Amino acid sequence: MIIYGTALLALCHLTGLFLGDLLGVAIGVKSNVGGVGIAMLMLIFLKIYLHDKGLMPKETEAGVGFWGAMYIPVVVAMAANQNVVAALKGGPVALLSAIAAAAACACVIAALSRSGRDDTAFPPAHHLEFTEEEDV
């Protein structure tokens, strides 16, 4: 049943956000700390667990896969919601700080991603159901 997958995703989402809020309160921060990350980790572990138990049929996976594939459209909608006018009104201080911070971070990313050994890779030709095909 496709709803089992979506419900599993929803439960992980809610539990993760709740734990993130608790973590925020525990360390005295007025924000959610890693709620989405906690939810992602839960979903990863539950997927492996249920898969090993044989409780993860294709339909259930599709109930999660659909939302994963909806990700880019959601991001486009999110972009359309940004307060771009306010951002541009910030003037030179905001613009310069933002550009300089982004540029410095890009350099550090370039240095770090080339340092050390990188033996991580994507699995070859791995296609989830509902994963979007890129038409170039």
Partner 1 sequence: MLEMLNKILIANGLVTAFACVGVAIWLAGVISRRLTLGYVHGSAIAIVIGLGLAYFGGRMTSGEKGLADFPLLTGIGLMGGAMFRDFAIVATAFEVQPSEARKAGMIGALSLLLGTVIPFVIGALIARAFGYTDAVSMTTIGAGAVTYIVGPITGAAIGASSDVIALSIATGLIKAIIVMVGTPFAAKFMGLKTPRSAMIFGGLAGTVSGVSAGLAATDRRLVPYGALVATFHTGVGCLLGPSVLYLATKAIVG
For the record, the structure tokens of 100 come out as 């300089």
CB 8 to partner 1: min, Å: 10
Mention every residue, 6+ apart, whose C-beta is less than 8 A from residue 12.
39, 40, 42, 43, 46
DSSP annotation of 83:
-
Site for partner 1 in 85-124 (CB under 8 A): 85-102, 104-106, 108-110, 112-114, 116, 118-123
The yes or no reply on residue 71 touching partner 1 (CB under 8 A) is: yes
The yes or no reply on residue 133 touching partner 1 (CB under 8 A) is: no
For the record, the structure tokens of 86 come out as 């306010």
Closer Cβ to partner 1, 53 or 102, answer by number? 102
Task: Sketch the per residue contact string, 10 through 49, with partner 1: x for CB under 8 A, - otherwise.
Answer: x-xx--xx--x--xx--x-xxxxxxxxx-xxx-xxx-xx-
